[in-house]
Amino acid sequence: MIHADAWLGLNDQHLTEVGNGHQLHPDVAAAFLAMQSHAANEGQDIQIVSSYRGFHRQLSIWNRKWTGELPLLDENDQPLDTHSLTDEQKVYAILTWSALPGGSRHHWGTDLDVFDKATVDACGGKLDLVDAEYREGGPCFALANWMDAHLAEHGFVRPFLQNNGGVATELWHLSYAPTAARFEALRNPEQLRKCIEQAEMHGKLTVLALFDELYPRYVLNEGLTA
């Protein structure tokens, strides 16, 4: 049973624990564990960096990026000077890498960020979740190749495989398609707008003024082709 407000990250009753504090939808957990053991048999140590995040976690990330407490990067992973940006520029900069509170696929328990733990540990254990780590020469490149070949047979897709002018490329972000489709069907711009109106969120008035553009571009990730 998926609650009507679960897509906004306001309901976590449909989730199950998968270890290390991570939570996923039970169907997604089962599919991930099956894929993880398949990968392990082929020498890939696929582990979760981030899984379910509720609305308030996402709101906290948003607010800390807004104030400069967390760093802001451009789409090429170059740091931006938060304080020199206008409010509009800040909204676009945050949305390149972080979703609106209520608009994250991580709210669903169907999506997760993954890495190759054994290889990252062998390289000193530091992971920044940047593109270069999943490209040739990076510790997660072999895993990225393995996922190219095997994600689909386990029901997973990568919704941020390409930057279309919306969310940046995130090779580490997986989505379990059969269950995610049920959340995609629940998405509704008016419900999200109301949720943001009621949140204690920095930049809220700017977000609401731009909302009709931001929703298809970043929440639906249709990018600039929309």
* Interface residue list for Zn ion (CB under 5 A): 113, 173
Q: Considering the complex, state which of residue 173 and residue 202 has its C-beta at the smaller distance from Zn ion.
A: 173
Nearest to 28 by CA among 58, 48, 8, 56: 48
* Beta carbon of residue 197, minimum distance to Zn ion (angstroms, whole number): 25
* Beta carbon of residue 104, minimum distance to Zn ion (angstroms, whole number): 8
The secondary element (H helix, E strand) that includes residue 115 is: strand 111-116
Which residue shows structure tokens 């689909």?
152
* Beta carbon of residue 105, minimum distance to Zn ion (angstroms, whole number): 7
Distance CA 105, CA 168 (A): 14
Q: What is the three-class DSSP state of 82?
A: helix
Which residue shows structure tokens 């495989």?
161
Distance CA 102, CA 118 (A): 33
* Beta carbon of residue 113, minimum distance to Zn ion (angstroms, whole number): 4
Q: 48's torsion region: left (phi>0), alpha (psi -120 to 50) or beta?
A: beta
Nearest to 66 by CA among 91, 102, 44, 101: 91
Nearest to 197 by CA among 184, 216, 211, 185: 211
Q: Considering the complex, state which of residue 172 and residue 215 has its C-beta at the smaller distance from Zn ion.
A: 172
* Beta carbon of residue 43, minimum distance to Zn ion (angstroms, whole number): 24
Q: Considering the complex, state which of residue 91 and residue 167 has its C-beta at the smaller distance from Zn ion.
A: 167
Q: Considering the complex, state which of residue 135 and residue 194 has its C-beta at the smaller distance from Zn ion.
A: 135
Q: Considering the complex, state which of residue 173 and residue 217 has its C-beta at the smaller distance from Zn ion.
A: 173
* Beta carbon of residue 97, minimum distance to Zn ion (angstroms, whole number): 9
Q: Considering the complex, state which of residue 88 and residue 162 has its C-beta at the smaller distance from Zn ion.
A: 162
Helical H segments across 73-216, by residue range? 87-97, 117-122, 141-150, 177-184, 189-197, 204-214
